[in-house]
Copies of this chain bind each other. A is one copy, B any other.
Amino acid sequence: MSETRRGGGRVGRRARRVADETETGPVAPAGLSGGAYRPLSDSDVQRIVDAAKTVLERTGVEIHASPAREVFAKAGARIDGDANRVYIPHTLVDTALATMANSVLLAGREERFDLDLGGARVYMGTGGQAVKVLDLAGRVRESTLADNYDIGRLVDTLEHIHFYMRPVVSRDLPTDEIDVNQFYACLAATGKHVMANAYLPGKVKDIRALAEMIAGGPEALAARPIVSFTACWTVSPLRWATETVDILDAILAENLPVVISSAPQSGATSPASLAGTLVQIWAEQLSGLVYTNLVRPGAPVIAGCVPAQVDLRSGSFTGGSAEFALLNAACAQIAQHLKVPLYNSSGISDSKLPDAQAGAEKAITGLAAALAGANYIHHSAGFLESLLTVAYEQYVIDNDINGEVMRTLKGIEVTEESLALDVIDQVCRGEGHFLGHPQTLALMNTEYLYPGVMNRDSRADWEEKGSRDIRETARAEAARVLAEHFPTVIDPAVDADIRRRFPIRLPAEAMRPAA
């Protein structure tokens, strides 16, 4: 595609020649730090955290009789067995905050794909789990296991999608076959870090075994966890889902990284006031941090704030709004204050197709979350229809949007050299011009990010090339990648072992180009 983007002109050609000869790193790498955008004042952050602690003490959380409730009882929380409520004193919260992991490594198969979650470091990637796919022919159909593999291959080529969270439900598999198969499909498709849920607690050991085989053994996996989990262990408001707690327990037992995610919808399952939703989601999160750190102090746990809202006119979930952007940006700020690694969201467009609405909703929510320093921004690629559908071409478009977001995040470097007093003086008082100046040539591949499918041609050039909107361009690019890109990210011998040990449903012929 790069050929089609290259404009004419002698200076352009010279600049390109210089660019091609210059070794530079990525212009907008993963892991840049946010924090330049602070939607809340410091005192408001503190008020929200204090209020969340008050909620845990006064309102408590609902947990039915279970081993988890016993953990709280043993630690000194007050239990009301009749009402199934657990009241968590702030001393337990403070202990958890002092005990918990302040950073979590999510490893790629190569170190260049590693995610070092914590602080205000920002990574953007896919999310899940859609039930429908808008395919490249424009048809909407049920999602399948093969989509998890194919989308992964596509994501493997997209620089600004930093991790691969399993995007769709494998609706063609029975529940007891999904767990191993969805991890396998993702791990076979890309060298980026893979995250998914587990449906059954008993399958966590299998997933671990699979990951060990690919990583090169238990020690290799322990040192560099190439897989991680989400466990949506609460049902907002403030109710624990004990069947998911069993899965969480299984993951903690394996000491693998896990997101504890809660997803209140402002106005429906949390207060309509955005501040109230923040209080509730952080009460939910703190209850989970207390629990996981009682079970396994310092476990690699990531706070999972997935706040959203309903449109109060219809009661329907909506995720493309300014209010959504604010909630997620505020969660990033609160997480940094608490020093807990954070998983949250952007990119949940309410549009049904990749149009200007989708572009704008993704950009606003993505920029707000990133500038605020959210660590693991999932849902940031591929989604449409308020999380129900993913579209192949949308991943290609969102890669460009995320790139613009990451370049904005990088900010402006101010040094003696970049202030450019001498350059300005030379050009203004001398014979020179900026376009051919050595500083310009030196900066062209470090100061500027060039988009992949966003079009900068003149109208005449654009018409000559077919007057395609970005959706058509992205569709062509996705089709090209899907036809060609079958990375060998699992050693063939290991793959054969895996297929002997587990009932792998992705056929080997789906993993190579059509004959």
Interface residues of A (CB under 8 A from B): 5-9, 11-12, 15-16, 19, 28, 36-41, 44, 47-48, 51, 54-55, 58-60, 62, 83, 85, 140, 237-238, 267-276, 278-280, 283, 309-316, 318, 320-323, 325-327, 330, 350-364, 367-368, 371, 385-386, 388-389, 397, 400-401, 403-408, 411-415, 417-421, 423-425, 427-429, 433-435, 437, 439-440, 443-444, 447-451, 453-459, 462, 467, 469-471
Contacts and interface: CB of A to CB of B under 8 A. Distances in A.
A59 B426 CA distance: 9
Given A404-B322, A421-B54, A356 B397 contact: yes
B275 A415 contact: yes
Query: Taking the full assembly, how many copies of this chain does it contain?
Result: 2
Which of A12, A273, A385, A453 has the most B CB atoms < 10 Å from its CB?
A273
Contacts of A314: 6-9, 12, 456
A274 B408 CA distance: 12
B357 A455 contact: yes
Contact of A364 (B367, B437, B459): B367
Contact of A356 (B19, B59, B323, B355): B355
A252 B470 CA distance: 46
A39 B412 contact: yes
Nearest to A330: B412
Contacts of A326: 407-408, 411-412
Given A40-B411, A311-B450, 19 more contacts: A7-B315, A12-B313, A37-B37, A44-B412, A48-B419, A54-B421, A59-B428, A267-B434, A271-B439, A273-B417, A273-B418, A273-B420, A274-B413, A276-B423, A325-B408, A351-B455, A359-B363, A361-B404, A363-B363
A10 to B, nearest CB: 9
Contacts of A448: 267, 272, 309, 311-312, 321, 323
28 contacts: A7-B313, A12-B315, A15-B312, A51-B421, A54-B421, A59-B421, A62-B428, A237-B424, A267-B434, A267-B444, A273-B423, A274-B412, A275-B414, A275-B419, A276-B420, A276-B423, A276-B424, A280-B424, A312-B444, A316-B458, A321-B448, A321-B449, A322-B407, A357-B469, A359-B361, A360-B360, A360-B454, A371-B371
Given A315-B7, A424-B276, A414 B44 contact: yes
A130 to B, nearest CB: 12
Contacts of A362: 360
Contact of A273 (B83, B272, B443, B449): B443
